[in-house]
Structure formats: structure tokens, C-alpha cells
Structure 1
Amino acid sequence: MSVIFSSDFLIGSTTAAYQVEGNNINSDFWAEEHAEGSPYKDKSGDAIDHYRLYEQDIALMASLGLKAYRFSFEWSRIEPEPGQYSRSAIEHYRGMLETCYKYKITPIVAMHHFSSPKWLMRMGGWASPELPERFSKYCEVVFKELGDLIPYVLTMNEVNLPVMLRETFTAIGFVPPVGIDRESWVAPKWRESAAKLCGTTTENYFTFHMVSDEASIQLLKETHRKARERIKRIQPNTKVGFSMALSDVQSIPGGEEIAKKKWNSYFGQFTDMIEGDDFFGLQNYTREVYGPEGQVKPPEDAELTQMGYEFYPEALGHVLRKVASVLSIPIMITEHGVATDDDEKRVEFIRKSLERVKACLDEGIDVRGYLHWSTFDNFEWNSGYSMKFGLIGVDRTTQERKVKESARVLGEIANVSARSDSFNKL
């Protein structure tokens, strides 16, 4: 028997523009892919051609029963040069939003999902004092055009991921969801080439994934607050938040203090940034266990995903409880998934995780939705097309979509829940 949620609990899936659209040539990630010595296993190229095929893709999601779709706008498409806004790109995203409504899917938009315009790197990237004004102006332009169609928005995706990258790269080389490895992060020749392709030098080249020191974190917080203020001024009814990647941080005897410091690094230091938001985007994939000497490797008999971390669906419920104990605003699960070629394991992951989400709801925790990463097998950054996170497979030779059983299972849970009158509204 599938777990049943209230009829207004949003169940759906998510993508990121750079990973599905294809040919985002004005982005810093395009430069990284094409840099000399680039560690990227594949070029994104056409990706899964979602930029062209979005209407049939959204129709497919609806046919499966999914009720929400979280996708991102590509800043480098909308503002290809400073202050130059593309009417065609804005109209493209209008089309995506209107298509969601056509198929009765709730759109949830991320204004930034890792990739940035190349021109921002020429200004100093995410360390530039111009960043808060530049980013908030981009948000303002978009919301003046499209704000009435956007009920939920994340200013930025996984604002704490750079801190996690820094922490893990100095430990055992754990590969986070974005899939950038330790060796790639520190390769100066590769970064120098990427900077050159952005029209700048390594001194100015500061991508989103490098925001991990105190100064850049404070700048990021200011950027979020300023963007939120402009969005709310234009569209006060839009719910505004941001998302964070949160592993289930655990400890064994002797590791309690290390675990406490890790959790503060990953989550605690960002809680002041949440003040004034309407909801919080929680993203979880696995757990991290700490002992007296640092992070403990998974047991030898532990199941590992394609990404190399532990298959541990119990993590989501644990993290929900930890976050809810601190926050007083609603939580939306804006990413949660597993990289595997075995779709039966994905089905198991979804079922077990949603059982724990329902338990949290029964305890009174205010969770508004569950969005699975990802809608499609897509471009997973440094890992290229080798990691299979999707509910829907894609033949990249023909761009044919191939629905997996996990998509049908999640869609059925969404459908049954949408018909349910058994629970009070959140």
C-alpha cells in the first residue's frame, strides 16, 4: 500500500537548466567543460534538448501523475551581457510556466542553479562587490515579466554546497551530488584555462562553487536578501526561499563534537540567512558518520550509489527533524534522489523515504512537498552522462524519453494523494 499524503502536498520532480537544456554557451560551466585539461567526462552539448522539448516533457510528467515541477532559469541566457536582457529567453521561460499551468502542474523556479554568466567572472564572480546588485536586478527584471506565474521561487540552489566541497575535499574525497572531485578543484592549469575562456584571469575567476570563505559567504547572504526584497516588492504573494544540501550528519562514540561542528558548518552558519523567508528548500541524498578521527567510511557491506556514497533512505526523515527543530517556516523537499542503474533500488529509495516524510508530517512537522531529483537522466556536471538519477531515461542519440517504473510509482503516489480527502490541509 502506497503512503498517502494530503491533497495539497506537492509531489513532483526537478531539473536544472544547465543539465537539461543544452548549449548554454554563455555560462561559466560551458567554459569549464571546454577548458584545457577539463576534468568533465563529457561535454553537455545538446544535453537532453529540454529547451526545445519542454512542452512534451511537461505533458509526460503530467501523464504520469506528477503535480509539481521545479526547474531553473538560466541567468546566462536571460542576461547574456551585463544589462542586456534577452526577450526571447524570457518568453521561453514564460512558455515553460504557462505549459505547467496548462497541464495542472505547480511550477517552482530556481533563479540560480550553479551556473552563472561568463561576464560575471570578469567582474570577480561570486566574490564581486557588484554581485548583490547584479543578481537582484536580474531577479527584478524576471519578476516584472513573469512573477505572476511563479508561486514559489528559490533564489539560489544549495548555497552551502561550496562549504561541503571544501570540508570533504580536505577529508576523504567524498564526492557531493554535484560531482566535482578533489583533484579537479585544485588544478590550477584547468582553472586558468576556464578563466581565459570567460575573458578573465584566475584572480577574478570565482564561481559559485568557491563561495566557502567568510567574506564570500557574507556576500552570498546579502545577495539572497537583496533578491528576496526585490522579488517580494514586485510579487508579494510569491513564496521565496533558497535550498541547502544537507547530509544526515551522525556520530559514533567519540565523534559527537566533530559531528556538531560539521552540522554547524553545513547548516547552522546559514540560519540567519533564512530569516524573512517564506519556506526552506531541503535537499538530501545520504548520511555522513563521524568518529573521533573524522569521517567514517561506510561499512564494507554497505550499498553504495553510482556517486560513491551510501544508499541510505532513512537520512531524509532524520534531516527533516533536525531542520524542523530550528526553523519556524514550512519546509519543502526540493531535491532527493539516488544515482543507480537499478530502478528497483530507486523505487525502494522513494518508498522508504516517503514513509519517513509521512511520519514527520504525522509528528506535526510542516512539510509542503517532495520533489525528486531528477526528472530525467541528465548531465551530471563533472560526471557527464554516466550517473543515472532520472525517473525517465533518455536515448541521447534520438532524444527519446523512456519512462521508468520509479516514475510510475511516484506518479501514482502523487495521484492517490491528490484524490485524498482524508487529511487536513497543511
Structure 2
Amino acid sequence: MNRQSLTFPSEFLWGTATSAHQVEGNNLHSDWWAYEQVPGHIQRGDKSGLACDHWRRFAADFDLCRAMRNNAVRLSFEWARIEPREGQIDDTAVRHYHEVLDALAQRNLTPFVTVHHFTLPLWFAHRGGFAVKDNLRHFERYCGLLAGEFGSRVRFWNTINEPSIYAMMSYLFGYFAPGEKSPRLFRLVMQNILAAHAVAYHALKRAHPENQIGLVKNIPYYTPFNPRHPLDKLAAAQHDWLYNAFVIEGIRTGRRHLPLGDGKVLPGLAGSVDFWGLNYYNQSRCKWYWPLATINAGERHRMTQTAWAPYPPGLKQNLLRLASFGLPLYVTENGLATDDDPWRCAYLIEHLRQVHEAIAAGADVRGYFYWSLLDNFEWEDGWFPKFGLIGCDPQTRERRPKPSAELYGQIAAANALQAEWFEEYPWDMETMDLARRRTIAPAG
């Protein structure tokens, strides 16, 4: 098939994403630090520990971003560092994040800052975290502090990273801190996390109305295992409504929809995004088994180290779904957990082709952030999944740019997908035969 080069909009943002706990190291006052110390919580007994030592090496890591011709970085500020004890602000941590912003500005990297990326200060967790509605006042106060301290320096804010994932993994399946397995708490947290987003949005917006505040939603692409079977179609629709639509339609209507919500309108929720951040990784094929609907039933595609099934067309479909809001869109995470870097190169090319198709179809997509900059601590899976464009040895913290980092740099420099790359990195979802893939020499 003959393909043409695909050019992206002139001010398109190219970046990578990280989160503080996964890369900074020694996040001693967080609920996740405490959670990792309990045997059995993390695969192989892994701990974040020093993580990637990004707390000290952030400037060198941002140099790696510039080497990839990036013009943006997505990162998070760690609440447990800024307010390690209730009401006590750590001035050293505040100065540190100013230094981080200085380093980004010196390299012409636009920051996208996430307020909550799965972790909580231990004192807040001990109060019940987001399972207690009254705790939202503490979160609102913290967001006001961020707005006052950093609002003049950060234009783009993400309030909550993946609210559905956070509630489900923390309170239903028990894989994230605090490790609860309670449908009641899950439902409660799903309701309160929407409220947390709303209070964060308005706290950040009040201080700096010119800033852009968004929500980051992970949207798996749910499809029926058998497209002709009505119960499989029902299973896919059920998962999509509970996991995706509860948040998306909540923002559209302001209502916490049944059955997870109480059906009531939440003041300040409707329209509380200036842009959408989309995290997209996988297709989930749903099959109905009474009394439960299951996902990932009978996957036939090649699976990642996290047992996900990549499905590039789902990225385009999800972007078009969010485009119905008429707002700017950013792909805030998209990445592949694998040691097979040629597969990652093919993944990049094909997913970015889907982004380009979404733009051509009318979606106002303004940026793409690959997950992740570095191989890092991946929550309950520990250090095993390798998402990074840059390898990071968990023992020595040595950085090693992978061939995919060079490819991503070429894409960003051209602001385009070159026609020849489609043949050099063909995407075959069924077998992913990599025999014909060439290897890119690392930069430098």
C-alpha cells in the first residue's frame, strides 16, 4: 500500500508523561509508600524506593526530552511532599517544583501538571481519603495552594488522573492503596472523585481564569466478544457505561448517573473541563457469563507485559467520542509495555496514524504524550513492565535511550509521520511478525 506523509497541526505538542511517585523516589509520606512495605501488595516484593531518582535528575531527564525534540512534558506535583502533615507546607518541596518549572522553561518545554495521580498524603489517607466526602475541603485547599503558588507559571492543569481506574483499583479490586475490596466504597469514591474534580477545577480556575483545566480519562475500547451475540453486546455496553460514561456523561450533564451515582445533579460539575485528556492503551473484548460480564475474554491479539491487547483504531474512536464536547483534546498517555522495542516503534506509528485520522475527521487534537519517558515503578506490577522510551536500570538508575526514542524524536522534529515509516514499521495486530523491522541506531 502506498501511503503519503501525514503532517500534524503547526503548534502540535509532542511530549512524554510521568507521575511523581513513579519516578521521583523516596515519597516517604504517601499512602503508596506505606502500602508497598506490606508483603504481597507488589509483584515480586518490588518497592518504589529511589524510583528513577528523578527528584535529583530532573534537569538531565528534561535534556533527554529536548533530545527527542519534544516541546511539552506531562508530570505531577506530589501532595505528600508539599503537605507531608496536615496544614504543614514543606517550603523545600515548593521550591523544588519551582526549580522543575525553571528547568522546563529553560528548555522551552510546556508543563502539563497533574494534581492527583493515584497517591495521597498518608495523613489524608488516614482520614479516609476520597471515601469521606468531608475530606474534599482539604483537597480544595491544596488545589488553591497550587493555584496561588504555581498558577502564573503553569497554563495546563489536569485535576484527576484516571478517576475510574483509581476508584476501581483502590476500592473494588484492592490492587492499589488502600487495598479495599468493597463495592460500597467503590461506589462512594466514584461519586466523590467527580466532586473532587469539580472543586479542583473551580479552585484552579478562580485564581487564574486564563489557565486551561482538564480531566484525564482512561477510556478502554470495550467491544463484544461476539458482535452478533446480544448478551456480549450488553456486556460491552455495561462495562462502557460503568467505567467510561459515568465520568464522561457526568461532565456533560452535571449528574452522577445511576447505578454508581445517586442520580442527582452535582453543583459545579457540568462543563467543568476546558480540555479533555485521553489515556488510551487497549481494547477489552467482553463476554457475558451470568451473573457477571467478563472482559479480555479469549484475546487473540498479541498481549503486552501488562496483559493488555493493543488496538489502535480504538484511539481514533475515543478521540471522536470526546470531540462531541467541542473542546481541545490531548492524548495524555499512550504507550506499550514490552522489551520488544521494534514493536514499540510500530505501535507509535500506528497509534499516531489514528490520531491524524481523528484530526482529519474533525477532532481538535492538540498534543500527544507518550507513556512513559522512563521505565519506572508501575504500581502493583512493580518494575517489570517496560513502558519507557528511555530505559532506567532500577539498581543503578542509568538512563539508556531506546531506538523508539530516536524514532519519536524524528516524528516530533518533522511534526509528521514520514511515508516510508509505514513500511518500515508495519502493524499486524494478529501476529506482529517483526522479522522485517529495521533497528534505528540510538542518537549520539
Classify the TM-score, shorter chain.
0.7 to 0.9
Residues 291-326 of structure 1 deviation map (CA, whole Å, 9 limit, x = unaligned): 34334646565211011121323321122223324x
Match of 2:34 among 28, 31, 35: 31
Shift of 1:208: 12
Q: Counterpart of 2:59?
A: 55
Residue 126 of structure 1 contacts residue 207 of structure 1 at CA under 8 Å; is this kept in 2?
Answer: no
Q: Counterpart of 2:389?
A: 391
SS at match of 2:370: strand
Is the aligned partner of 1:155 residue 2:154? no
Equivalent-residue separation in structure 1 for 2:75 and 2:69 (angstroms) = 17
Letter in 2 for 1:30: W
Relative distance call for 1:211 and 1:240 in structure 2 (3 A) is farther
Equivalent-residue separation in structure 2 for 1:147 and 1:320 (angstroms) = 28
Letter in 2 for 1:253: R
Equivalent-residue separation in structure 2 for 1:306 and 1:277 (angstroms) = 33
Residue 390 of structure 2 contacts residue 402 of structure 2 at CA under 8 Å; is this kept in 1?
Answer: yes
Is the aligned partner of 1:78 residue 2:76? no
SS at match of 1:213: helix
Shift of 1:207: 7.8
Relative distance call for 1:295 and 1:31 in structure 2 (3 A) is same
Residue 12 of structure 1 contacts residue 67 of structure 1 at CA under 8 Å; is this kept in 2?
Answer: yes
1:105-254 matches, within 5 Å, as 105-162=109-166, 165=169, 185=175, 213-251=186-224, 252-254=227-229
Is the aligned partner of 1:410 residue 2:414? no
Letter in 1 for 2:375: D
Q: Counterpart of 1:88?
A: 92
Equivalent-residue separation in structure 1 for 2:203 and 2:403 (angstroms) = 42
SS at match of 1:19: helix
Equivalent-residue separation in structure 2 for 1:75 and 1:250 (angstroms) = 37
Equivalent-residue separation in structure 1 for 2:61 and 2:198 (angstroms) = 33
Q: Counterpart of 1:21?
A: 24
Shift of 1:38: 3.1
Relative distance call for 1:39 and 1:398 in structure 2 (3 A) is closer
Residues 175-232 of structure 1 deviation map (CA, whole Å, 9 limit, x = unaligned): xxxxxxx5x64xxxxx9xx8xxxxxxxxxx6889999633322222222111111111
Query: Alignment length, in residue pairs?
Result: 388
Equivalent-residue separation in structure 2 for 1:79 and 1:211 (angstroms) = 29
Equivalent-residue separation in structure 1 for 2:371 and 2:102 (angstroms) = 22
Shift of 1:2: 5.6
Shift of 1:150: 0.6
Q: Counterpart of 1:289?
A: 285
SS at match of 2:368: strand
Residues 347-382 of structure 1 deviation map (CA, whole Å, 9 limit, x = unaligned): 100100000100110111111111010000000111
Match of 1:261 among 238, 241, 254: 238
Gaps of 5+ in 1: 170-181, 186-190, 195-204, 421-426
Q: Counterpart of 1:272?
A: 250
Residue 121 of structure 1 contacts residue 206 of structure 1 at CA under 8 Å; is this kept in 2?
Answer: no
- TM score, norm. by length of structure 1: 0.85
Equivalent-residue separation in structure 2 for 1:300 and 1:217 (angstroms) = 29
Equivalent-residue separation in structure 2 for 1:150 and 1:416 (angstroms) = 26
Relative distance call for 1:32 and 1:98 in structure 2 (3 A) is same
Equivalent-residue separation in structure 2 for 1:362 and 1:212 (angstroms) = 42
Is the aligned partner of 1:329 residue 2:327? yes
Relative distance call for 1:307 and 1:315 in structure 2 (3 A) is same
Equivalent-residue separation in structure 2 for 1:289 and 1:330 (angstroms) = 29
Shift of 1:119: 0.2
* Structure with higher RCO (Cα < 8 A, 6+ apart): 1
Equivalent-residue separation in structure 2 for 1:230 and 1:244 (angstroms) = 20
Residue 285 of structure 2 contacts residue 299 of structure 2 at CA under 8 Å; is this kept in 1?
Answer: no
Q: Counterpart of 1:380?
A: 378
Equivalent-residue separation in structure 2 for 1:374 and 1:359 (angstroms) = 23
- TM score, norm. by length of structure 2: 0.82
SS at match of 1:308: coil
Equivalent-residue separation in structure 1 for 2:353 and 2:116 (angstroms) = 31
Letter in 2 for 1:133: R
Residue 76 of structure 2 contacts residue 113 of structure 2 at CA under 8 Å; is this kept in 1?
Answer: yes
Is the aligned partner of 1:100 residue 2:104? yes
Residues 54-101 of structure 1 deviation map (CA, whole Å, 9 limit, x = unaligned): 001101111221111000011000000111111111111111112111
What fraction of aligned residue pairs are identical, expressed as a percent? Answer: 34
Relative distance call for 1:297 and 1:127 in structure 2 (3 A) is closer
Gaps of 5+ in 2: 253-270, 419-444
Equivalent-residue separation in structure 2 for 1:315 and 1:153 (angstroms) = 25
Equivalent-residue separation in structure 2 for 1:47 and 1:292 (angstroms) = 40
Q: Counterpart of 1:7?
A: 10
Q: Counterpart of 1:172?
A: none
SS at match of 1:32: helix
